[in-house]
Structure 1
Amino acid sequence: MENATQQALSADELLAGTEAQSEAVLALPAGSQTVFALVRKLRGQRATSDTFRVQLRACMRQYGEDWQLLDGDDAKWYDTLNSAWVIADHDSRTLHFGPKGGIPVSETLAGHGLPAYLFAQTILWAKQRYPDYAVARILLHPDEAADEESRLRRNSFYASQGFDFEWFDHEQRAGCCFKGRADQLLAVWDLQTVRDLSCEALIGLVAEENTLRVEAQDARARMASHKEHLESRFERERMINLILTGVTCFVLTMGLMAALGV
């Protein structure tokens, strides 16, 4: 426990030394719109520890044919918001996951299951590199389970990743979760709400968007041509009607004059 405390106290310093290793794009569909986010993975190594962090930031929103670049807080990299990390302590052969107390996400990125995705990425990394390391206990505070809904959401979050629990009360509001070996964790997230886009998928998305744009332009051109044709036809019919009206008036006038013997 003392080692875990020391590790927690030095987490900020250890994570500050991480460097970006890779970046990718996520598609976050929700109804008629899709938010696209950049995800980057960072790693730092020291003699007694290995650290890994995954971060997200929103970059674009698609709504039908409209694309909007996102800026402001949602488009920034944060150390705690939209982020998760794990520290491998080689001396104790333990893994320390964070941030403590859950993974907060920004408003634009909320509702897509991103905490599970971020946490799963740290688990995958740990399972691949340190499968036999033990998972340090994660304290579950009662203030994280103020009501039944939040209690169930928190507990099911860790349970879905394969954690074991030790409870300090009968209501399962205070306790801790842990695992004997990293390779026993699961690393799962909702593939319907968080989709990794490969280079091939990105090319396909751009090609599809370009096809839709060309089709929309063609449709608008056809509608404009049809409208122009209708307007021209209407003008011709109007002129014909004017001529017919004039001829009719002339014939009636001549007939009237003949009848009156004028």
Structure 2
Amino acid sequence: MKTSWLSGVVLLSLLPALAMAQSAFDGTWKIDLGKVHMPAKPDVLVLEKGIYQCKTCTPAISVKADGNDHSVTGHPYYDSVAIKVVDAHTIQETDKKHGKVVATSTIAVSSDGKTAEVEFTDSSDTDAAPVSGKATLSRVAPGPVGAHAISGSWRNTKMQSLSDNGLVMTFKVDGDHLNMSTPTGQSYNAKMDGTETPYQGDPGITSVTVTKTGANSFTETDKRDGKPISIAEVKVAPDGHTMNVVVHDKLRGTTTTFVADKQ
């Protein structure tokens, strides 16, 4: 689970007398799972002839499905993957980094093959308590004839649950800087003029820029080694109670939208 979807910026008042007023972004915000719209682009998985492939992972993964750890490269969050075939409809995945388990998941396909239930835990961002949750996948296209039931194209159509530490973020404006932090250890202190600054606590993000785009809106660009990997467009509603977010995943070419409520 990569909880670096969101960062923020605050537009200071143009009136000096109001310069110390609380920003619309100040406070703690929690994502409303009922108002999350996952990407339309599906994930493509194939498990046949003892080989598991995640074709839409970035980069793609291909390992033996024998329950053992197999090295993978190019992934900042993990360096080995183990795929265990539980039965004809179920698999378990364990991801590790430097020998330590950082994520686990179980995918169980329904008897009719049209949907799948996913349960997962993920602490790949930091050493903080893992984020855990459940999701429902809907089949978009079948896999190869004779392949395991998880094979095919799948779209995440519903996040059934997600632990609070994966839903909450806190912002605080300090002068011309915005401070962001999460329970899972991500943070930054960014100047609100597009200046690149370090991103802390996430091995997949090395720097961030925050640029104000309106009275109650901003754009955040997350980067890895200088290359943009995610762009979040954020706007706080006029009543100050909700934050609307559109996240563009530049690596996968997908878009996710969600709403966060001020706590």
Taking structure 1 as the reference length, what is the TM-score of the superposition? Answer: 0.28
More helix by share: 1
Taking structure 2 as the reference length, what is the TM-score of the superposition? Answer: 0.28
More strand by share: 2
